[in-house]
């Protein structure tokens, strides 16, 4: 089984690239972020014609997450991250599909920091930790996949001295991410590529793609029973280099049956 996460950076603007990727790689489950579409504008018909059932949590012009399943319809389990009824950002969606609980996550960026946006990011990560603990306590086989907007270690960026003032590299958000790992979640790519040097994002600015100035912020965290099934993982880097592509590359895992 192949499960992928892909910050598409606008599902309508990138739809040809997204459908191309689905056709070429055929993931069984695809978690999308930054859909940037209201619920009634989500192109569900296009995905159904491509053989994918879909659920989505949209928001006009910003954020938005979705879960696609090949030849199946995901069963929604949780819409929006619990813990703050006033948070209207479409950043979290959870579904049951193929015997797994899968979450599509678009964690807040947090810039500029310090400030209210970074405070919101840290509070959101506290809420994610609480939800992850509930899934862990219930022993639900789960994958928490998405754009975490956290660069976990200096090995996960092209230069250890780059972006030290950015919210993606602050000690507080890195500590919150490591807490998830300490509580039993496995970072799939970090497990298979302990040497680092694997990027999932290249900015559109400053020739980052051409210079391979990338970093890793798209993660798949696995509960223990799912981690035991992990046999492969990687990044579909070539899709980042295509015309009118997202600034992220699809990131995936493969699980034994």
Q: Spot the catalytic one: 6, 52, 92, 106.
A: 106
CB distance 125 to 107 below 8 Å: yes
User: Residue 112: CA atoms inside 13 Å, Cβ hemisphere, count?
Assistant: 0
- Catalytic, out of 6, 89, 92, 147: 147
Candidate list 213, 219, 239, 248, residue with the active-site label: 248
Q: Is 192 a catalytic residue?
A: no
Interatomic CA distance for residues 11 and 125, integer angstroms: 25
Binding site per annotation, positions for Mg(2+): 7, 34, 147, 149, 247-248
Which residues are annotated as part of the binding site? 7, 34, 147, 149, 247-248
The region, left, alpha or beta by phi > 0 then psi within -120 to 50, assigned to residue 115 is: left
Would you call 147 a catalytic residue per the annotation? yes
Neighbours of 20 (CB within 10 A): 14
Between β-strands 142-147 and 100-106, what pairing exists: parallel, antiparallel or unpaired? parallel
- Residues 101 and 226: their CA atoms lie apart, in Å, by 10
Residue numbers annotated as active site? 106, 147, 248
């Amino acid at each position: 089984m192949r499960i992928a996460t892909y910050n598409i950076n606008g599902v309508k603007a990138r739809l040809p690239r997204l459908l191309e990727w689905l056709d070429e790689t055929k993931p069984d489950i695809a978690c999308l972020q930054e859909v940037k579409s209201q619920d009634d504008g989500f192109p569900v018909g296009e995905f159904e014609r491509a053989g994918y059932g879909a659920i989505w949590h949209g928001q006009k012009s910003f954020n938005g997450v979705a879960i696609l399943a090949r030849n199946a319809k995901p069963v929604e389990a949780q819409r929006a991250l619990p813990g703050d009824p006033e948070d209207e950002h479409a950043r979290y969606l959870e579904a049951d599909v193929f015997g797994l609980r899968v979450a599509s996550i678009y964690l807040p960026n947090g810039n500029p920091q310090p400030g209210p946006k970074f405070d919101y990011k840290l509070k959101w990560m506290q809420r994610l930790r609480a939800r992850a603990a509930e899934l862990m306590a219930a022993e639900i086989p789960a994958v928490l996949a998405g754009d975490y907007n956290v660069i976990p270690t200096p090995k996960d960026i092209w230069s250890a001295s780059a972006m030290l003032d950015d919210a993606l590299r602050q000690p507080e958000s890195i500590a919150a991410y490591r807490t998830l790992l300490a509580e039993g979640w496995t970072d799939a790519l970090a497990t298979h590529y302990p040497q680092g040097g694997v990027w999932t994002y290249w900015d559109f600015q400053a020739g980052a793609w051409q210079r391979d100035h990338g970093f890793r912020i798209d993660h798949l965290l696995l509960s223990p029973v799912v981690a035991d099934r992990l046999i492969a993982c990687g990044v579909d880097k070539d899709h980042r280099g295509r015309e009118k592509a997202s600034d992220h590359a699809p990131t995936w895992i493969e699980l034994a049956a």
